């Protein structure tokens, strides 16, 4: 029997890249998957892949930066599949500028689409996660862990997500809810475009990964999320997993 049979998962930003890979992997292990995002065509494409493989998928168009949209995403998930077991907060807008050039608007955008979106989704999902003793996976970034140059607004947002996750892990542990963070390095469409534009930087990135390659969104990142939300890792909460092939080593 698939590890997630009978479970329902909500993945924000599931129409492409890492979110898509996570959605596909969750569905492959038996979960009914709701994917959300702002672009309907991409959501439909991912949902189509899931159904073609024999899985169950549902799409909700919306902006995680809007509280009403987030509440609707959770409500439609529960209405469609009867509950919620797994919440993956993947959606995040990114701004890359030098610190001195970073504006208030840049910070506001990354916070609204990142930690505030995760905060709103977690609050909306809590009653349902309590019923299911569910699991939350939030996405962080090594750009924040390492303090990479030109990522000021993005790093601020991603570290806020890690702080939120640790607090939730402590407060929600008594309900049987686990909250963890992953920091992935995967060959998403955005990464492919970046490497194509800056091939010399691609070489530098790969040289810094002990395993010598970028991760695959589904098989490397998605399947790790499957393990994380399954009973196989039922005793892990409040953790940050660096899914980067060894690029970032933290103690």
Catalytic residues: 154
Q: How far, CA to CA in Å, does 9 sit from each of 96, 149, 176, 207?
A: 31, 34, 17, 35
Please give the Cα distance from 118 to 96 (Å, whole number).
21
**Which H or E element spans position 18?**
helix 17-28
66 φ/ψ angles, rounded to the nearest 5 degrees: -110, 120
CB 37 within 8 A of CB 12: yes
**Among candidate residues 55, 66, 73, the one with its CA nearest the CA of residue 2:** 55
């Amino acid at each position: 029997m698939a590890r997630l049979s009978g479970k329902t998962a909500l993945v924000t930003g599931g129409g492409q890249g890492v979110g898509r890979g996570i959605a596909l992997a969750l569905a492959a292990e038996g979960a009914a998957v709701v994917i959300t995002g702002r672009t309907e065509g991409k959501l439909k494409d991912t949902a189509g892949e899931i159904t073609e493989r024999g899985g169950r998928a549902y799409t909700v168009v919306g902006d995680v930066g809007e509280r009403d949209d987030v509440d609707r995403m959770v409500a439609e998930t529960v209405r469609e599949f009867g509950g919620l077991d797994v919440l993956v907060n993947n959606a995040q807008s990114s701004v890359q500028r030098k610190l001195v050039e970073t504006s208030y608007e840049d910070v506001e955008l990354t916070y609204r689409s990142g930690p505030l979106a995760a905060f709103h989704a977690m609050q909306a999902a809590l009653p349902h996660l309590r019923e299911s003793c569910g699991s939350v996976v939030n996405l962080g970034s090594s750009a924040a862990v390492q303090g990479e140059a030109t990522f000021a607004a993005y790093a601020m947002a991603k570290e806020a997500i890690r702080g939120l996750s640790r607090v939730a892990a402590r407060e929600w542990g008594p309900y049987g809810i686990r909250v963890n963070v992953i920091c992935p390095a995967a060959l998403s469409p955005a990464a492919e475009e970046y490497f194509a534009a800056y091939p010399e930087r691609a070489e530098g990135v790969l040289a810094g990964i002990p395993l010598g390659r970028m991760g695959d969104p589904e098989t490397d990142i998605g399947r790790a999320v499957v393990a994380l939300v399954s009973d196989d890792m039922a005793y892990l909460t409040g953790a940050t997993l660096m899914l980067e092939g060894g690029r970032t080593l933290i103690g």
